[in-house]
Structure 1
Amino acid sequence: MSVSKVLTIHYGQLQKNPAPLCFAEPKDPSTNMLHWTGWIEGPPDTPFSGGRFHFVIDFSVEFPFKPPAVRFTTQIFHPNISTSGEICLDILHSQWSPALTIRGLLISVCLLLTDQNSEHGLNKEALKLFRTDRQTYDQLAKQWTELYAK
C-alpha cells in the first residue's frame, strides 16, 4: 500500500475521531499527502492555556515504518521544544512504532504541554528554569504564549 493511501486512511480516521485540543490535516491533499499542518490548543491550567500553537508534520515515503518529522512553527517556551520548533519526544525518535496513529501522535505532542520531561531538553534555559525555578518558568512560558500564540 502506498504511503499516500496510508495517510488518507489516517486522515479519514482523524476526521471521524479528532484528537482533543488538536487539529491536523494535509496542507494540500489533492497534490501532497506527505506535508501536513496543524495546531494544538494550550491545555487549561498550564502556562500555555489560551494559546494556539501551530506545527508542521512531514511524512517520509517510509511512513509508517519511519516517524514523521514534527516541528512547531509557533514560538513556545518549553524545555522539550527548541527555539526553532524541534521536539524532544521519544516516539518521534527511538520509540516510534508503525502501530502509532496520527491521532495518537497528536495526543502525545499535546500531552508534552502538560507533562514536560525534566530529564531531557532542547531549550536549555527553559529546562534549567523548569528544574530550579518553576514560578519564573511558568511566567516566561505564559509571556511567550501571549506574545506568539494568541
Structure 2
Amino acid sequence: MKKLLVISAALGLAVLTSCRSDNDNESEQLTLTGNWRPDKIVSTTTSGGTSTSTTVVTDACQQKGRIMFTTDTSGKINYYDNVNGTCSLLFDLDMTYSYNPGTKDFSITTNGNKMDGAVTMLTSTNMVVYYVDKSNPDSTNRVEISATKVAN
C-alpha cells in the first residue's frame, strides 16, 4: 500500500510539473513596441557641480503625449502641454532607439542627438526608462519617464 501511495504521489508530481503553462516561462522577452503615455517625468540637470531636479506628474493635457515605439528601432515622440490656457502639441519628433533586454541598456536618438540610458522597469503595462542628454556642453540632463502602455 505504501508503495502504491509513493508511486501515485510521484506520478501526480510529474503531471503537475509537466503541465506547466507557457505563461510561466520566464524566457519570454517584453518589448518596448507600442504606445506609451507619460505619467511622470523627472528631469535632473547638473551644471557646474550643482544639480536641480524637476518632477512633473502629468496632467490631462500632457497625458495626450505619446512615446511610440513602432518597430524594433524606430518611433515617434509627441509632447503636449498647456500654452496660454490651451492644450497644444509642442513637438512631434521622429526617433530611433535601441534596447537590449538582457542588459536593459537603452539609447534614443532624436534630431541627431544620441542619448544613452536604461530601462529600469518594464511590464506589459508599465515602464520606467531614463536617458542622459549631453547635447549642451555646459550641463548634463538626466530624464526619467514613467509611462503606461495605451491602445493609441
Query: Same fold per TM (> 0.5)?
Result: no
The normalised TM-score by structure 2 is 0.35
Report the TM-score, using the length of structure 1 for normalisation.
0.36
Name whichever structure is richer in helix by fraction.
1
Q: Which has the higher strand share?
A: 2
